Chains A and B, each alone.
Chain A
């Protein structure tokens, strides 16, 4: 029994780390723009595809492998960050002063565009990642097994989250971000270049999300073009659970969602899995609408 519980814990933590990385992008954008960036999930999966292109061309083995992996992560992050900025400039900036719902529709349109763009470029069938990218090591503890790739993901997510946390809370740039999220006009009055802050949010969020997307590709070794919507929705739910606009909240929400999914499917019911997750979300929203750690968004009186 203990083995099962620990195993579910490992399962949940791995997926939770990925959710957290993607959720960060949502929460950061929502924090500064009050906008649900529906296209974010698709950007992350785009990152997985970009990584696949890099890995596919470096079919070597042995030492070169690690270099290729590193290159894949780097290229994916950079390309997707650039795409994120383009997205902000074309689909969201022109709507800054308009009705919020218009931006939501624009985001939905952007999501369709990216998702189907991926399909038109890489085809509708799923794409498989090369095998043997990582040595297949595993460890057993307390009756559960954990694989090298899972360790990589859990550790990688944790490190990224720690770095982001440090950046947001202990650097001037991060403080500027938090100020903009809290009150855009006041931030402007303090001399903060709000547009630049927003651009950086659209650089960092998608970049981290792209790494999350590539983790998905490495873990499951496959990607297909409709994944972005599913992961995006889950990640957004995670961000809300933790408290939208709240960066530690997104991290916590992601991990909790992953764990919750694992235990719900494992111990309650696998056929109502999705429903239970949404029921949890609705429950949390009704009882504590600002999420577990409280929301941090611009107050508009």
Chain B
């Protein structure tokens, strides 16, 4: 009887150790970092990103965490600047995070990239500067489609809409100047006459001088590559000056506040972006918006809240699919991401971490603030 009791005991002991071991294992939280501008001029966006990540983590934890591990969020304020971004990157790496969601500005993402790459920490960002995927960092994944893709679509839209004389306005930010330069180049390739490329100081509000100057050149349309805070004002001031030209805005103009800021002048503005979540038939997007509103009392500040949310969702989805959070396995798997149903559209991640496969549309703002898709014709039917 002794050997049986011994072996029974040893089995029980082993089982006990394993149980304790796996309990300890199951208890180790997985940390998700957020690097975003919590303070500074983009505080609005940064706080939105942090809120979205916290909401997703809460939802995931309610479902039992990621592969049994509870998720924890660590937020670091990069103020939208390079030096604090580098510090944040080091801190988050020190904290032992698996992945970092953010950052909002290309400059901050660029500064943090090498640090995350060296530590094999996954980094997602919606910075759209084309530089971000040009450096060969395997840990980097872009949440939002890059400027170059949008520019090609925009030029195509100009041509299809018969706009042959346009003027371009941009601000001094990295994202907007990159987008504007790309649009100007692609428009010229389509044979469109770009009358002028003008600059505004984002946030200065006083755009009538520049608009008056452009009005004298009689453009058929004014393309603005900057942010909705200025875009809305530009549309309003174009109406104030009695300008007949159309307003066409790049993706950063899409924000519920655009119509509010432009007020009565909002109707007729055309914006180019991936379809707005409100317009997508995905229940996931509507659900997320409702949950966000319930948790925080207001809508997400912009689409970039959702692109960042998609970054995290894609990571969670992939990790669950391959049943591993080991970066050595997870990172290559992320590069293989195909046709993931994001809140902001279906997308894939290619070998350099670029987001591909997102259909762009041009939509017109209706009286009342709703969007109507007007191009491409296949999408316009909706």
B210 on interface, CB distance cutoff 8 Å = yes
Measured CB to CB, the nearest residue on chain A to B233 is A220
Q: 8 Å CB contacts to A: which residues of B193-248?
A: 198-201, 203-206, 208-210, 212-213, 215-216, 229, 232-233, 236, 240-242
Which positions 80-137 of chain A face chain B at CB distance < 8 Å? Answer: 119, 123-126, 128, 131-132, 136
Among the 9-residue stretches A55-63, A194-202, A268-276, the one with 4 or more Cβ atoms under 8 Å from chain B is A268-276
On chain A, the residues within 8 Å of B210 by CB distance are 265-266, 270
The total of chain B residues at the interface (CB under 8 A) is 34
Contact of B212 with A266 in the complex, beta carbons under 8 Å: yes
B261 touches A4 (CB 8 A): no
A222 on the B face (CB < 8 A): yes
- A152 smallest CB distance to B (angstroms): 13
Contact indicator B208/A262 (Cβ below 8 Å): yes
Q: Nearest chain B CB to A35's CB is how many angstroms away?
A: 26
Q: Give every chain B residue within 8 A of A138 (Cβ-Cβ).
A: 240, 242
Q: B residues within 8 A CB of A221?
A: 236, 261, 263
Residues of A within 8 A of B208 (CB): 7, 11, 262
Is A165 an interface residue, CB under 8 A from the partner? no
Q: Which residues of B contact A7 (CB under 8 A)?
A: 208, 212, 215, 241
Residues of A within 8 A of B301 (CB): 125
Neighbouring A residues of B199 by C-beta, 8 Å: 270-271, 273
Q: Write out the residue numbers on chain B whose beta carbons fall within 8 Å of the beta carbon of A216.
A: 205
Which residues on B sit within 8 Å (CB–CB) of A123? Answer: 44
Name the one of B200, B204, B240 contacting A230, with C-beta atoms under 8 angstroms.
B204
C-alpha gap A230/B236 in the complex (Å): 21
Please, what's the 1-or-0 string for A248-259, where 1 marks a CB less than 8 Å from any CB in chain B?
000000000000
Q: Does B264 lie at the interface of the complex (its beta carbon under 8 Å from any beta carbon of A)?
A: yes
Does any Cβ of A come within 8 Å of B257's Cβ?
yes
Question: Is B325 in the interface zone, CB < 8 Å from A?
Answer: no
Q: Could you tell me if B264 and A131 are in contact, using CB atoms closer than 8 angstroms?
A: yes
Tell me what chain B mostly uses at the interface: helix, strand, loop, or mixed.
helix
Measured between beta carbons, the chain A residues less than 8 angstroms from B44 are 123-126
**A34 neighbours in B (Cβ, 8 Å):** none
Interface pair A8/B209, CB less than 8 Å apart? yes
Give Cα A131 to B301, complex, Å. 20
Interface residues of A, count at CB 8 A: 40
- Chain A residues contacting B215 (CB-CB under 8 Å) are 4, 7
The residue in chain B whose Cβ has the minimal distance to the Cβ of A136 is: B264
Q: Is the CB of A1 within 8 A of B213?
A: no
By a CB distance below 8 angstroms, the chain A residues around B74 are none
In angstroms, Cα B261 to Cα A15, docked, is 19
Minimum CB–CB distance for B280 against chain A, Å: 24
Asked whether, in the complex, the Cβ of A4 is within 8 Å of the Cβ of B212, the reply is yes
Instruction: Give the docked Cα–Cα distance between A26 and B260 (Å).
Output: 33
| B47 within 8 A of partner (CB) | yes
User: Are A11 and B236 within 8 A (Cβ)?
Assistant: no
Indicate if B43 sits at the interface (CB-CB under 8 A): yes
Residue ID in chain A nearest B169 by CB atoms: A270
> In the bound complex, how far is the Cα of B203 from the Cα of A29, in angstroms?
27
Contact of A222 among B43, B47, B261 (CB under 8 A): B261
- Which residue in B39, B198, B216, B257 is a CB contact (below 8 Å) of A128? B257
Complex alpha-carbon distance, A264 and B267, angstroms: 31
Q: Which residues on the A side are within 8 Å of B263 (C-beta)? A: 131, 221
Q: Which residues of A contact B229 (CB under 8 A)?
A: 126, 222, 224
- Contact yes or no, A262 B242, CB < 8 A: no
- Given the known interface contacts A124-B44, A145-B242, A222-B233, the answer about A270 and B204 at a Cβ–Cβ threshold of 8 Å is no
Are the C-beta atoms of A226 and B241 separated by less than 8 Å?
no
Instruction: Note all chain A residues with C-beta closer than 8 A to B205.
Output: 216, 220, 222, 227
B213 touches A267 (CB 8 A): yes
Q: Chain B residues near A267 (CB, 8 Å)?
A: 213
A200 to B86, CA, bound (A): 49
The complex places the Cα of A224 from the Cα of B230 at a distance, in Å, of 12
Is B41 an interface position by the 8 A CB rule?
Answer: yes
Residues of A contacting B242 in the complex (Cβ-Cβ under 8 angstroms): 138, 140, 145
Most buried by B among A123, A138, A216, A265: A265
Assess whether A12 is interfacial by the CB under 8 Å rule: yes
Closest 4 CB pairs of A and B: A124-B43, A271-B199, A265-B209, A131-B263
Q: Which residues of A contact B (CB under 8 A)?
A: 1, 3-4, 7-8, 11-12, 15, 119, 123-126, 128, 131-132, 136, 138, 140, 145, 147, 216, 220-222, 224, 226-227, 230, 261-267, 270-271, 273-274
Would you list 7 pairs from A and B whose C-beta atoms are within 8 A, ordered by A residue?
A: A11-B212, A125-B301, A126-B229, A128-B260, A131-B263, A221-B261, A262-B209
Chain B residues with a Cβ under 8 A of chain A: 39, 41, 43-44, 47, 172, 198-201, 203-206, 208-210, 212-213, 215-216, 229, 232-233, 236, 240-242, 257, 260-261, 263-264, 301
Instruction: Kindly list 10 other residue pairs between chains A and B, CB separation below 8 angstroms, not including A7-B212, A7-B215.
Output: A1-B216, A4-B213, A145-B242, A222-B205, A222-B229, A226-B41, A262-B208, A262-B209, A271-B172, A271-B199
